Chains A and B, each alone.
Chain A
Amino acid sequence: MKIRIKFLKQGSMKFIGHLDMMRYFQKVMRRADVKIRYSEGFSPHQIMSFAAPLGVGITSNGEYLDIEVTETESSAVMTNRLNQVMVDEIRVLSYKKLEDSSKNAMSIVAAADYTLTFRERYKPEDLDGFFEKLRGFYDQNQILIVKKTKKGQKDMDLKPLIYDLARKGDAVFMKVSTGSTDNIKPELVMESFYEGQGWEYPGFTFQIQREEVYGRDGAEGRLIPLEQYGEDIE
């Protein structure tokens, strides 16, 4: 049976790297006595995969991992059982059953939402002016950047990969293309904006938080939060 787990990663846990998060969850599964399936072979490993790795330093309200289990209790019971053996700053938000035929989270990731909050000393004095300019930046028909690749440099248009860029209180909100083909990091968008204004972009300007990760509906092309692919177990 396939299960999708949504969790948050907050506070000091942002310093835990992706590989360590994987090891963390492997241990969580054993502590919570989740009947997870193991691969065959002499040193079996748990069947577990993460949707989209989160960079060190970024917090998140919407992380996903898929597992396979041989049996399970209800979503409520399992969520509770997992949270009992977790640290405070990593919490399971939902535990849902997927269709047996469904693709794993990693392969369907299409977009993600981010909130970028100014670190106090990098906050512009004229916030309204800042967001005015940001609007102007997003309203362009094309946002060309030079992307460094393994082979060299290439021009790339960011515009079609930014699905939303807006003000949210004092913070920046954005919805950008994510996944294996066009993976846009929020930092890349902001760098391009600052550069366009002729400003320097200091490395620690924003505390970035991922809010949600989406897949794309085949027929209409609509973005769907990954957890909505699953169903609660009663």
Chain B
Amino acid sequence: MRKLALPDEILLSIQQPARYIGGEVNMCVKDPKDVAIRFAMCFPDVYEIGMSHLGIQILYDMFNRREDTYCERVYSPWTDLDKIMREHKIPLFALESQDPIKDFDFLGITLQYEMCYTNVLQILDLSRIPLHSSERGEDDPVVIGGGPCAYNPEPLAEFFDLFYIGEGETVYDRLLDVYLDNKKQGKSRFEFLKKAAGIPGIYVPAFYDVTYKEDGTIKTFLPNNLCAPEKVTKELVVTLDDAPYIEKPLVPFLKVTQDRVVLEIQRGCIRGCRFCQAGNVYRPLREHGLDYLKHYAKKLIETTGHDEISLSSLSSSDYTYLPELVNYLIDECSAKGVNISLPSLRIDAFSLDVMSKVQDVKKSSLTFAPEAGSQRLRDVINKGLTEEVILKGAAMAFHGGWNRVKLYFMLGLPTEQREDMEGIALLSEKIAETYYDEIPKDQRHGKVQIVASSSFFVPKPFTPFQWAKMCTKEEFLERAYIVKNKFREMKNFKSLKYNWHEADVTVLEGVLARGDRRVCAVVEAAYNNGALFDSWSEYFDNSLWMRAFESCGIAPDFYTVRERGLDEIFPWDFIDAGVSKEFLKREWLLAMKEEVTPNCRQRCSGCGARGFGGGVCYEDKN
């Protein structure tokens, strides 16, 4: 029998013991004695969420191709096990070997959303690794952070030895080689960090000092060690087809959030929505080739046995070979009883035709993401979706048999006025009217159902809105009520539904997104107060965080509602993410003038990402 870290008595008394035993199909098995490097890859959330993440699977596969390395996985123990592990002093372990994380060379933690930060501390704590990088010794694992939140790593700077900025496929090999070399020479952890700091994309927080002005903003942010560069440039895969994809993804026993094959068709986005961090930091858009995707689609269905395949990208409709790829999938999958799911498609004749082939029209719904309720505000955020296009798409879909529509909006966007908020209700009403106008009574399948949801806007680093002032909780809720009241006035009120996101957690996300190093203390205090699984509404407790802000003497408003000057030094300015601060500033000013910017395929706006030497910036130019 495989060795398990937890005894039967514990495993049989907690929820979903399968979260902690490993042993899944396609799990990599190596003898830890045969390798020189042990790497623990962590997604700091519950198994079912962490196992659904494609990026980790790609890195897992890539690391394990190295003969000298064994990469294993670890996720956040759920609250029931968390309590038991503390009581019985059981150290956190990796799923594959079931060995304690503390024995590993590296602990890599992916940071996909801000609300996982207290879980990061849980992972370190349960592993018995000192929370602060400065307190770790030669025997502790090197703790690395990566993922989208590493584009502003400062609120976690004290807890990590280094951050990997950008796409993981490029310099990890080099990092591991340097580590091995350092180990062979018998050199110290500090020596390794110094060498690591010289690798592109690597940021070692301890090698930088920050000073502040009297008003609390940053005065200087400079390296204190010669090995550390002033600017850390993000790493990126220039030609996607050259990077390894997974041949045999792990297939969990438990039903995880993404219980399907995920095929990444492209990275980056041409659209330039001004609120979107992913659309900016993953620039430029790079596509996979059609043959590459066909090959992997077939292969991955064979090696996993999943009954569904899903295409992943920020805006699938922009993929050049989408019709060819989708037709191939329909042919390939229908014979095998495999379903196809196509998120983030623009609604038009093509997508409706495809959707009618791959899903049950009566059961599925159409999705639009206008993000803002008025054309004026959509221009501000550079969301190139017009009311005309939405209504035309909806009409086409209604004729095709759909009668459910989902609409996604944001509230609290810069310059938002009452008309913009009310526009959410008006647009929803117009879609309902379109249904009743277009579809004769005897052909309707019941009422039209329109569900509009709004989340609250959080300004993110490396977006044109990084200068924007965020709303307070009260302002957010006030705006939601304005929308809700407007919905009540609508003629087709009964066909419309409106709901909105929680405000407390949004404010906190705002602090963590644009926080600086001083916020580290708040995260730690909140964790010590008992904050954990903050992204789960049933566990999120705002009072734990408010107490933490108070005890640290830090005002959350400084990070959220404060107006930022155009020349302010931001905590993340030391990162070169491709898009230049000049470009972002230009975009911010254009937004204020309600002017739109064309997408990369219409006209290049000189964002700076061209410097990487590939992708959409060089289309039609060879």
Contact = CB atoms under 8 A, between A and B. Distances in A.
A43 B25 contact: no
Contacts of A119: 8
Contact of B12 (A12, A29, A57): A57
A38 B338 CA distance: 12
Contacts of B21: 12, 15
B23 to A, nearest CB: 5
A89 B305 contact: no
Interface string A8-40: 001111011101110110111111010000100
Contacts of B303: 31
A30 B338 CA distance: 10
Given A15-B18, A20-B18, 15 more contacts: A11-B1, A13-B23, A20-B255, A21-B253, A23-B253, A27-B307, A28-B305, A29-B305, A30-B302, A30-B338, A33-B302, A43-B360, A44-B337, A87-B24, A89-B1
A217 to B, nearest CB: 36
B305 A85 contact: yes
A56 interface: yes
B302 to A, nearest CB: 7
20 contacts: A11-B2, A12-B22, A12-B23, A15-B11, A20-B18, A23-B253, A24-B253, A27-B307, A28-B305, A30-B302, A30-B306, A30-B307, A30-B336, A31-B304, A43-B339, A44-B337, A57-B12, A85-B25, A88-B23, A89-B1
Interface of B: 1-2, 4, 8-9, 11-12, 17-18, 21-25, 251, 253-255, 301-307, 336-339, 360
Contacts of B4: 12
A87 B12 CA distance: 21
Contacts of A199: none
B316 to A, nearest CB: 23
B25 A27 contact: yes
Contacts of B337: 30, 38, 44, 46
Contacts of A11: 1-2
A89 to B, nearest CB: 7
Find the residue from A19, A31, A33 having the highest chain B CB count within 10 A: A31
Contacts of A44: 337
B46 to A, nearest CB: 16
Contacts of A130: none
Contacts, number: 77
Interface of B, helix, strand, loop or mixed by DSSP: loop
A31 B305 contact: yes
B23 A26 contact: no
Interface in A162-205: 204
Contacts of A33: 302
B305 A27 contact: yes
B18 A42 contact: no
Contacts of A43: 339, 360
Contacts of A24: 25, 253
Contacts of B301: 30
Interface in A105-131: 119
Given A43-B360, A119-B8, A204-B12, A27 B1 contact: no
Contacts of A10: 1
Contacts of B18: 15-17, 20
Contacts of A29: 305
Contacts of B11: 15
Given A30-B307, A31-B305, A20 B253 contact: yes
B258 to A, nearest CB: 14
A149 B489 CA distance: 53
Nearest to B3: A12
Given A16-B18, A44-B337, A204-B8, A89 B2 contact: yes
Find the residue from B9, B251, B301, B304 having the highest chain A CB count within 10 A: B251
